[in-house]
Structure 1
């Protein structure tokens, strides 16, 4: 569900209104007058919520256990739709040719102003913001209405804190940092030019054009995190993007929507995490690592520079990995050595 601190919900809408907007027929036996109050992900949805199920295998359990009153699903005749588990009792199943397109249209009904924060104020520091004790504000800082800045936190020149953002105590926010749709813990350091809370890279296509999928989640930055210069952390699509306690992110790191970074992880520069990646506690990623969407890296695993995965790959914890696709580092090294031997020109007359 979208946080009302950051997003204004224009609902509720009836099931009939929602189906009409998305170009879906009201299912037989369903009540068109059924009220849908909000959108939610599968695990967080209740009887008055609309959720969506893409058909992805990693979401089968969540779909089967969901309490959503209605759910967008792929057509039963499609490849993805034919593999879905049985819907829970009480859920109205809304079949769609494109779940992503239908969800994008419906989400925009509930939240038409879903992109970037919009506000007006005469003074750089809104009188509706709450500023703690001994806060240090450099020239050019902008703090929007409803924002909260904790005691002894410092904000560098040109930092912009969006509406409703909450920042904890003893934080250091560098020059030209922007923060929106986010809760930031205590003793967090953000180096100059970091950007936190902007909409994730979510689009769907009809074959000829692209439609923006509203990004209605937040970013949660826990205590004692450091975020490097020019690092970007996108907010979630429905749930949250989370940076766990004590984690350290280098410069030029890209964290996509709905990623879950555990506690005390270390991520080196130019690393990119696609949407919904999970790093368990203590993971270390060297420079230029790339992880595909919905991948998961187990606790205390380490990945060497330029290693990576495709989509929905699970790597065991406590293992060192190298290469792309990532493999245990000794296996990867043996393969590299074997390839080097195969590529080496043979000496004339040699039987090797």
Structure 2
């Protein structure tokens, strides 16, 4: 019988899928530490993990590990060098949350474009005169620059096109023909078109190359009427540079679903600004997304056991080669 080690929580829909297999048993570790994981992973054939660290010392303790299945798409919490050296595939469930993350992006865009927070507060205070300020704008004919054209970026493009927006897309790992197929215009260097965009939306992976991708220099290239959206990873944006641009009117507004660290500190100055719309990294936390995420994470494990794992969901595909 195969053992699946579930680190942190897994939605009931994912657990139900595993229970259907009589050749699979699972163990949930809700509060993982390295010492606990080193002990529990020794006889595990698979690991399902969310945001907990899976360190090299823990991986070294595994003697039967066939696959690590990540709920979501970030792999920054995994020792990829160790897993790849031991030829253990790492599967992600990015497609499970793509539509939900894209909807969160559009929510942030619309809240900014329509001055949603200000209008809500004014209406509750019987201030209907605010409707005459003419600060709200349409998305129609606005230019959206998408940086990172993977699963989520493509879903954002599809929705933005439905609003009548002009979509530019930059991704050095995606062929221009693919970008065009999805209705967007490819741009080889995104900094050169920052000044043309009304909205800039970030959807690239977190890495050493993308850390502080948007800093003071990039923000200075944007129009003062433009909006920045980050619903991907907090480290993509230099937060203090963003604060200064927003506080001084160099940038019209920002929508943030992610921050440096899991959550912003109470003294983070971005929390004091009225031209920022915030959400608690909830883009992938809808009822449907959490269910899909858990089921896909489990299905990737079962497929690995059955020898039918889809290479498209594997991050380190080199381990699949003979």
What TM-score comes out, normalization by structure 2 length?
0.25
Task: Report 1 or 2 for greater relative contact order, CA contacts < 8 Å, sequence distance ≥ 6.
Answer: 2
What TM-score comes out, normalization by structure 1 length?
0.24
Structure of larger gyration radius: 1
Which of the pair is proportionally richer in helix?
A: 2
